[in-house]
Structure 1
Amino acid sequence: MAVRPGVRRVRADRGAEPPPADVWPMTVPAVAQLWAEGLELAPGATVLVGENASGKSTLVEVLAAALGLNPEGGSAGARLETRRSEPEALPLVVERAPGAPRWAYLLRDETLHTLYTYLEANPDRLRLEPLFHGLSHGEAFLSIFDQKLRGAGVFLLDEPDAALSFAGQLRLVAGLLDLVARGAQLVVATHSPLVAALPGARVLEVGPWGLRPATWEELELTANWRQFLDRPEGFLRHLG
Structure 2
Amino acid sequence: MSIWDRNLFIRRLELLLPPDADRSQYPFNLKALHQWNELKFHPSVTYIVGENGVGKSTLMEAIAVAWGFNAEGGTKNFNFSTQATHSSLHEHIRLVRGVDKPRDGFFFRAESYYNVATHIDELDREGRGRPIRESYGGKSLHEQSHGESFFAAFVHRFGGHGLYILDEPEAALSPLRQMAMLARIHELVQQGSQFIISTHSPILMAYPDSVLYHLTHEGIDTRTLEETDHFVIMKQFLNNKEKMLHELFEDSQ
Do the structures match in fold with TM over 0.5? Answer: yes
CA change 1:193–1:99 in 2 (3 A) is closer
- Structure 2 partner of 1:26: 28
Q: Which moved more, 1:118-127 or 1:189-198?
A: 118-127
User: Does residue 165 of structure 1 match 2:174?
Assistant: yes
Aligned-pair CA distance for 1:43: 0.5
CA-to-aligned-CA distance 1:181-230 (integer Å, 9 cap, x gap): 11111111111111111221211111112211001111111110000001
Corresponding residue for 2:117?
116
The residue number in structure 1 matching 2:237 is: 228
Q: Which residue of 2 aligns with 1:54?
A: 54
1:195 aligns with 2:196: no
Question: Take 2:92 and 2:54, find their aligned partners in 1: how far apart are those partners?
Answer: 22
Given that 2:14 and 2:95 are in contact with CA atoms closer than 8 Å, whether structure 1 keeps it comes out as: yes
Which residue number corresponds to residue 77 of structure 2?
Answer: 77
| TM-score, normalising length: structure 1 | 0.89
SS at match of 2:203: helix
Contact preservation (8 Å) 2:7, 2:100: no
Where in structure 1 are there 5+ consecutive unaligned residues? none
Whose helix fraction is larger, Structure 1's or Structure 2's?
A: 2
Larger radius of gyration: 2
Structure 1 partner of 2:96: 95
Structure 1 distance, partners of 2:56, 2:145, is: 26
Q: Write out the 4+ residue segments of structure 1 that deviate beyond 4 Å after TM superposition.
A: none
Q: Is the 8 A contact 2:16 2:37 kept in 1?
A: no
Q: 1:19·1:90 contact (CA, 8 Å) conserved in 2?
A: no
Confirm or deny that 1:211 pairs with 2:216: no
User: RCO (CA 8 Å, sep 6+): is it higher in 1 or 2?
Assistant: 1
The sequence identity of aligned pairs, in percent, is: 31
1:12 shift after superposition? 4.0
Partner of 2:3: none
SS in 2 for 1:233: helix
Aligned residue type for 2:169? P
Query: How far did residue 175 of structure 1 move?
Result: 0.9
Amino acid at match of 2:82: T
Relative to the length of structure 2, the TM-score reads: 0.85
Measured after TM superposition, the shift of residue 126 of structure 1 is 7.0
